[in-house]
Structure 1
Amino acid sequence: MLQTWHGTPPLKTIGTDVQLVTMPVHDPGKYHQQVVRDSSRWDYLIAPNKYSADIMSRAFRKDTNQMMLTGYPRNDILINYTPEDIARIKGDLGLDPNKKLVLYAPTWRDDEFVKAHEFTAQLRLDLAELQDRFGSDVTFLIRTHYMIANSLDLTQFTNAVNVSDYQDISELYLISDVLITDYSSVMFDYSILRRPIIFYTYDLEQYAGTIRGFYFDFTKAAPGKLVKTTTEVGDELADIFTNGWQPDQQYINFTERFDEWMDGKASERVVNELFDRDNMKTVPVKGDLSALGIGGDQQIELRDAAAIWALNKDFTSNEDVSFIQYYDKLEKPLPVEALEGQLIKSTHTDVLMQTYIKVKVTTPNRDIIGWVSRDDVM
């Protein structure tokens, strides 16, 4: 089974990294069990960038050789689209080709639920105020998250269209001149287009602190202005439409960090990896291991319960489970010496996926020699 995932996850915590569980489950342990049970069915998991790959591998308990470092195939269209594609999409939606189009795509709130897996949508953006300000010159496309159970009634507005049921959100990106969002992963996809993004973050402190939690400082990295009122949203839109827009350095830094693999060729890479079982390579590291963070005397300490793998284990094979034992500190840490290292890389991207250290563990009865993950070296 190939898990293509539904968004880029480096902002909001995901999987077993979620510690603030405000969803109906209410129990982090139970939620994590559900995550691991579901992810155990996946043979491969696609990552959109190296930063996300590290997080996804840990959060979904996937082995290094189960991660596809390819970028998302569904985003290829954001590089390969044509003017004819945009005209077709606008025609399918019955939109005036001459009007400005603004896509509003907020994320869902874990604590706004009806019952398990059904959440409500409360439209915090004041469409009436925006209609008074921009009249018929701007059309707002409203896209709620797929987990939202209730349907928004927008019949009173002449400047808004509910596109929540539109099949492919990538096509909505293509026709939009501006994106308004909050903490949704749509920001990562839309930034591929190098178009303006406005962040309507009316509940930033609550969301980051008590609802979900972030991996990085969103306020310092967001590729756009953060605002808290509809009036401020309108001010930003007016500035963009009147004065034009160019990406600033923060926007450029964001795209360089997260869009590196979004080059329009992800589909090709995924097919190559999926049907090419030899898609990993091992690079040995002998002698001085300081580049791997190992001290000069190469005496190290392992985490309790670190997995020790057999010397003949093939880390590029998903089917090789050659295992010796778990490291047990007992009452006193055992002497451990680092002997050499090996780097596991993808043959298609040459990006480092995992590092393993060959160790010798001296026990009262025998020496144990095997491989451990660099992450288990303290």
Structure 2
Amino acid sequence: MYKVQGYLRDCLDSLLNQQFRDIEVIAVDDRSPDHSGAIIDEYEAADPRVTAVHLPVNGGLGPARNAGLKLATGEYVWFVDSDDWIAPESLTAIAERLAATAPDVLVVDYARAYWDNRIVRNSAAAQLQGAPEVFRIDEFPQLLQVFPCAWTKIVRRENLLRWNLEFPPGYYEDLPFTYPLLCAADRITILDQVVVYYRQRRHGSILRTNGEKHLVMLDQYQLTFERLAALGDRATPILPVVYGRMVDHLLVLLGGSPRLGSDHPANSLRRRFFAGAARLCRAHEPAGWTPPPELGHPVRYRLLKQGSWARFSGPRLALRALRMARGKVRGLRRRGGRLKYRLKRSLLYRYYRVQCKLPVDENLAVYEIYWGAGYGCHNRAIYEKARELAPNVRGIWLVKPEAVATMPPGVEYAVNGSAAYYRVLARARYLFNNVNFPVSTPKRPGSVHIQTHHGTPLKAMGIDTQNSPILAAQNNFAELLRKCDRWDYAISSSPYCSVVWEHAYPISVTTLEYGSPRNDVLTTAPADSAARLRAELGIGADEKVVLYAPTFREYRKPGDPLIDHRELADALGPNSRLLVRGHHLDRGGDGTDADGRVIDVSDRGDIQDLYPIADVLLTDYSSAMFDFLVLDRPVVVFAPDWELYRTLRGAYFDLMAEAPGLVARTSEELLTALRTGAYASPELDAARRRFRAVFCPYDDGHATERVVRKVFHGEDPDPFGPAAPLSGVLPRPLVPAPAVD
């Protein structure tokens, strides 16, 4: 495993939670820089079938598999990729097939699993049909037309060792493993059903990279033919098929694949690949071989084998010129239509486009939260620390017109939709947001987008909400990911958050696991600041304060409270106050009552300013519970609709089983707990501190400084000590039950 923390649990759970249990799982950490290593240690501690291996240096997929093979003791070996997962009860089907046929190699099928929940079966699945129950590869050569991957092959271990089929380093390591493996086997059988769900990651796949590393494909094919030659006469019948597969593969990369960079004929990397491919073809073409009809490009093959780059690339150069000419003609035809369209565009948008053509302002940062809701959250802390540590950078907030009145004196802002708004949005070097900027905002070269998020997630976020019956219909997830693709940095407050964000937002981004900037104030605020706010709200120094901060529910009418606020205040008894903080999407409700026992603080700036005056936090599924942990004060969770919320919104762990404090499932339970003070006990204190160790491991009051120094000055913080293990509070994004197309 390498950089798979967002998917690793899906993989391990899919293997370990099956009815068939006679397996060992050797999990190899290929020096992964994320929390993958900690996750496998956790599984090793919890399940004796798991062995965690940590390699001293990163060596790539091939060497990592070899390291695992050396420790394997099972009768059969299966190399499973750590970002894929296995179909339910497939291990039983595999075990039954192995017992019935005693093969050297069992081949299973797979389906591609996309981020949008599409599951599409292997396009070559038909090649698996019609095979004898047990066969040699020369008796069923059409199997070689299937994608040559190791993770669809379950192999008898003693044979694998006898054949000495180790994986080579570098990309395309499956090629010199799979073809000789199938050739050497005396007994092959097929389980013609989807067993592996092959995750199609939007980022991280070698098929979406480019550069010189793809030259290793030539070496891997050379090794493939050397290993086949070592097998002697038994390889002879399949050489033409393997050779044809190689030719097709080489021509795919030479046919404009971005893996070799620009497809311009002058590209030196493409020319080097072509020269090596030509040598391969001339060295290994079987006697009498002719391109089969399904190859589709016999002329290009002959030009490749001749080795003349000029002849091979000439037609492509002509085609490029023709395409450019056609593009100019189409541009002339559209010019009139474009002019008409431009005249219809708003003056402000044209102004924005003009501003985008001007240089990026290296000393300009813009800040926004909740689509212009005002001044607060992590961005407030970052803005204030940047004024101290990066005073040369001008900070401007983007706010809605109705939020202007809430902006503090001296804080510069631009109203959304104004000329100033479009100007700073177009010109800023640094762009901070805890949601997303509009999809029409381009990612300008030289700009830096920082996603700060808005709290530790219990509820499903990002594409994980595709399984929500409410949110799935309300969101355009493709558009969401296009917005997220602009992120350069994403702030994470804990290892837990890092794992969840990676799963919820499958993008290429640098995670800054530095702690929670908005929580710094909870450890650094002056000792008398809470007293001043109490006095401002008319709360006595000796009065007990309970802060009630419920989350937003998509399935409830806004402003409809779950419980009567006055009842809560009465349950607290005399000499107490109830502060009610509505979610920013669900403001409105009972308001402040006449005698001041219930105080509505929904519009009083940042909730972080209210935490220090609260003796107890009453919440439900809000991220407030994680932030409040920093103060190490009692938390009460009111969860009358947990099952409904979890079903409709989704959750990453079972809050009822792992809560940071007392859980009340009914109004009666809640009122009783408030009357009796049952929310405070040594057992609940211990649970709260365990939670804090997991969710707030870096909240030492310096998270904001770490972010500012990294983003504005490029400084990396000193390494943190190890965080608390994630066991007990496990982010487990649910894998949907696949429906194969």
Query: Does 1:191 find its partner at 2:629?
Result: yes
Look up the SS of the partner of 1:184 in the other structure. coil
Relative distance call for 1:4 and 1:98 in structure 2 (3 A) is same
Equivalent of 2:506 in 56, 61, 77: 61
The match for 1:3 is 451
Percent identity reads 33
The match for 1:36 is 481
* Amino acid paired to 2:582: T
The match for 2:465 is 18
Q: Is the 8 A contact 1:69 1:349 kept in 2?
A: no
The match for 2:555 is 111
Query: Does 1:130 find its partner at 2:574?
Result: no
1:344-363 counterparts in 2 under 5 A? Answer: 348-349=719-720
Query: Does 1:163 find its partner at 2:163?
Result: no
The match for 1:86 is 530
The match for 1:200 is 638
Query: Does 1:225 find its partner at 2:662?
Result: yes
Relative distance call for 1:278 and 1:351 in structure 2 (3 A) is farther
1:235-254 counterparts in 2 under 5 A? Answer: 235-240=672-677, 247-254=684-691
Look up the SS of the partner of 1:46 in the other structure. strand
Q: Deviations over 1:61-94 (max 9, x none)?
A: 3325x21111111100111233211112223333
1:136-175 counterparts in 2 under 5 A? Answer: 136-155=574-593, 158-175=596-613
Aligned residues: 275
Equivalent of 2:651 in 208, 211, 214: 214
Aligned-residue offset at 1:99: 1.2
Task: Please report the TM-score for the alignment, with normalisation by the length of structure 1.
Answer: 0.66
Q: C-alpha distance in 1, partners of 2:569/2:719?
A: 49
Look up the SS of the partner of 1:264 in the other structure. coil
Flag structure 2 segments of 5+ consecutive residues without an equivalent.
1-448, 724-741
Aligned-residue offset at 1:347: 6.3
The structure with higher relative contact order (CA 8 Å, sep 6+) is 1
Q: Is the 8 A contact 1:127 1:157 kept in 2?
A: no
Q: Deviations over 1:198-217 (max 9, x none)?
A: 111011111112x2111112
Q: C-alpha distance in 1, partners of 2:491/2:679?
A: 40
Relative distance call for 1:149 and 1:255 in structure 2 (3 A) is closer
Equivalent of 1:99 in 536, 540, 543: 543
Relative distance call for 1:187 and 1:246 in structure 2 (3 A) is same
Aligned-residue offset at 1:41: 3.2
Q: Is the 8 A contact 1:79 1:263 kept in 2?
A: yes
Task: Please report the TM-score for the alignment, with normalisation by the length of structure 2.
Answer: 0.35
Of 89-98 and 50-59, deviating more is: 89-98
Higher helix share: 2
Q: Is the 8 A contact 2:545 2:577 kept in 1?
A: yes
Aligned-residue offset at 1:102: 0.3
Relative distance call for 1:347 and 1:125 in structure 2 (3 A) is same
Q: Is the 8 A contact 1:128 1:157 kept in 2?
A: no
Q: C-alpha distance in 2, partners of 1:259/1:172?
A: 19
Query: Does 1:52 find its partner at 2:497?
Result: yes
Relative distance call for 1:135 and 1:240 in structure 2 (3 A) is closer
Q: Is the 8 A contact 2:494 2:695 kept in 1?
A: yes
Q: Is the 8 A contact 1:135 1:159 kept in 2?
A: no
Q: C-alpha distance in 1, partners of 2:712/2:719?
A: 13
Q: C-alpha distance in 2, partners of 1:26/1:17?
A: 9
Look up the SS of the partner of 2:476 in the other structure. helix
* Amino acid paired to 2:545: L
Q: Is the 8 A contact 2:634 2:680 kept in 1?
A: no
Query: Does 1:273 find its partner at 2:710?
Result: yes
The match for 1:27 is 473
* Amino acid paired to 1:72: S
* Amino acid paired to 2:503: R
Relative distance call for 1:149 and 1:20 in structure 2 (3 A) is farther
Query: Does 1:260 find its partner at 2:697?
Result: yes
Query: Does 1:72 find its partner at 2:519?
Result: no
Q: Deviations over 1:276-314 (max 9, x none)?
A: 4474xxxxxxxxxxxxxxxxxxxxxxxxxxxxxxxxxxx
Look up the SS of the partner of 2:593 in the other structure. coil
Higher strand share: 1
Q: C-alpha distance in 1, partners of 2:599/2:662?
A: 24
Relative distance call for 1:278 and 1:190 in structure 2 (3 A) is closer
**CA RMSD, aligned part only?**
2.7
Of 103-112 and 12-21, deviating more is: 12-21
Q: C-alpha distance in 2, partners of 1:348/1:242?
A: 36
Q: Is the 8 A contact 1:139 1:159 kept in 2?
A: yes
